[in-house]
Amino acid sequence: MEYETPLFFHVMEYADRADRDVIDMVSGNPDWEPPQALRDGLHEYADLEPDQFQYPPSDGLRELREEIAARRGVDTEQVVITNGAGEANYLAMARALERDRGDEIVLADPVYPYYPGKTTMLGGTQRFVPTDETGHLDPADVRAVASEETAAIVVNSPNNPTGAVYPAETIEALVEIAEEYDAILVSDEVYDHYDLSGTFSSALELDSEHRIVTNAFSKSMAITGFRVGYAIFPPDLVENAKSRHMLVNVAGSRPSQYAVLQALRETGPAYYEQNRELLRERVETFTDALDAAGAEYSTPQGSFYVLARFEDYPGTLENVERLIDEAGVAGMPGEAFGDSRRDWLRFALVTPRVEEAAARLATYFN
């Protein structure tokens, strides 16, 4: 079987190899500071005794799981520390499929490409539900494709790539559908701290045996390289997930978990608010310039991506490479996110050069 590998790393490498200055708006790597307590935790770790350099518990440092459980209002046993939200999603989707209640995974289109990739890898089948033009998902459309074959519905809010933040009613309705068809709602909330709209609603607010919530510190603490995430399972589903995690990874990274625990304990809301404020400014700067360039675009309610459409410039990989070479701006092809955004390009607001990038686009397309 051939797996479809998401294009992110390909485009990043292409941009790196270009023999001109390129503004990187490809990756989801924040360019802002991590919490100070995270740096302090890492420094401290370097001087610990050798026993602290050995395997942590497979399901994660106990204190980190306790800290997360207390904050999220769940039992510590329900929390599995993972290798980022990526592994959390993998464990959640695998767990849904191995229940043998169908092999279909319902996904939104546009979609974060790792979901369909993981679906194929796990032997499942994708069922896509188109969102509206603002990226919102109508639960009635999900219900229309749901059946006894549905193993899971996988959603992401705040959303990559649309920036949509699903209201509480959507999440509630999706949990209901999952319950009705004995399926699992997998709610990927990795951008929860980047809700710019104040309307974010976590699936954890609902009590259900049919939902798994995934998350990570990758984005919230600006540490995508640390690889610390987590999944929160219903009590009856957690044991198999822990076994799978152990068989695949043995355990996670101890220094990363140690530093994240320190940062979680010591970082107040001001840190997260400051990052949201930075993003708000960048959204404004970038979309103002897109207006000037005559482009159509999405204004994100959350996450840190903007989808833009330029006339006669579809979002193909070829056009993305041309834009890197000729305009010096690197984005992601819309076609990487499914059929519905083929005409669009996605730009990540993870560079201080947002204004310059927008100016380059305006010059190039005018």
Ligand X SMILES: Cc1ncc(COP(=O)(O)O)c(C=O)c1O
Q: How far is the CB of 190 from ligand X (least distance, A)?
A: 5
Q: Per CB under 6 A, does 224 bind ligand X? A: yes
- What backbone torsions phi and psi does residue 108 show, to the nearest 5 degrees? -85, 150
How far apart CA 77 and CA 234 sit, in angstroms, is 10
226 neighbors 218 (Cβ within 8 angstroms):
yes
Q: How far is the CB of 187 from ligand X (least distance, A)?
A: 11
* Closer by beta carbon to ligand X, 216 or else 293: 216
* Closer by beta carbon to ligand X, 92 or else 357: 92
Q: Per CB under 6 A, does 231 bind ligand X? A: no
Residue 130's DSSP bridge partners are 109
- Lookup result for tokens 């995974």: 105
Question: What number of CA atoms fall less than 13 Å from residue 342's CA on the CB side?
Answer: 3
Within residues 153-192, the interface with ligand X by CB under 6 A covers 156, 160, 188, 190
Angstrom CA distances, 308 to 110, 183, 338, 341, stand at: 14, 35, 15, 10
Angstrom CA distances, 257 to 151, 261, 289, stand at: 31, 6, 40
Q: How far is the CB of 366 from ligand X (least distance, A)?
A: 31
Tokens of 283: 């959204």
The contact pattern for ligand X, residues 141-160, with x = CB under 6 A and - = no contact, is ---------------x---x
Q: Which stretch binds ligand X (CB under 6 A): 47-55, 216-224, 256-264, 319-327?
A: 216-224
* Closer by beta carbon to ligand X, 102 or else 335: 335
Q: How far is the CB of 66 from ligand X (least distance, A)?
A: 21
Q: How far is the CB of 13 from ligand X (least distance, A)?
A: 17
Lay out the sheet containing 229-232: strands in order across. 79-82, 229-232, 211-216, 184-188, 150-156, 104-109, 125-130
The contact pattern for ligand X, residues 289-308, with x = CB under 6 A and - = no contact, is --------------------
* Closer by beta carbon to ligand X, 164 or else 206: 164
Which amino acid, one-letter code, is at 208? S
* Closer by beta carbon to ligand X, 29 or else 199: 29
96 neighbors 126 (Cβ within 8 angstroms):
no
The residue at minimum Cβ distance from ligand X is 84
Within residues 74-133, the interface with ligand X by CB under 6 A covers 84-86, 112
Q: Per CB under 6 A, does 201 bind ligand X? A: no
Residue 153's DSSP bridge partners are 106, 185
How far apart CA 264 and CA 262 sit, in angstroms, is 6
Q: How far is the CB of 87 from ligand X (least distance, A)?
A: 7
Q: How far is the CB of 151 from ligand X (least distance, A)?
A: 19
* Closer by beta carbon to ligand X, 30 or else 315: 30
Tokens of 329: 């701006």
Q: How far is the CB of 203 from ligand X (least distance, A)?
A: 14
Q: By three-state DSSP, how is residue 216 classified?
A: strand
- Lookup result for tokens 């401290």: 44
Q: Per CB under 6 A, does 28 bind ligand X? A: yes
Number of chain residues interacting with ligand X (CB under 6 A): 13
Omega within 30 of 0 (cis) for the link into 139: no
* Closer by beta carbon to ligand X, 109 or else 182: 109
Tokens of 204: 């954890």
Q: How far is the CB of 86 from ligand X (least distance, A)?
A: 3
- State the pairing for strand pair 329-330/23-24: parallel
- Binds ligand X (CB under 6 A): choice among 131, 218, 256, 287: 218
Q: How far is the CB of 228 from ligand X (least distance, A)?
A: 8
* Closer by beta carbon to ligand X, 59 or else 188: 188
Q: Per CB under 6 A, does 287 bind ligand X? A: no
41: CB partners within 8 A, 6+ apart: 258, 259, 260, 261, 262, 263
Q: Which residues of the shown chain bind ligand X in the complex (CB under 6 A)?
A: 28, 84-86, 112, 156, 160, 188, 190, 216, 218, 224, 229
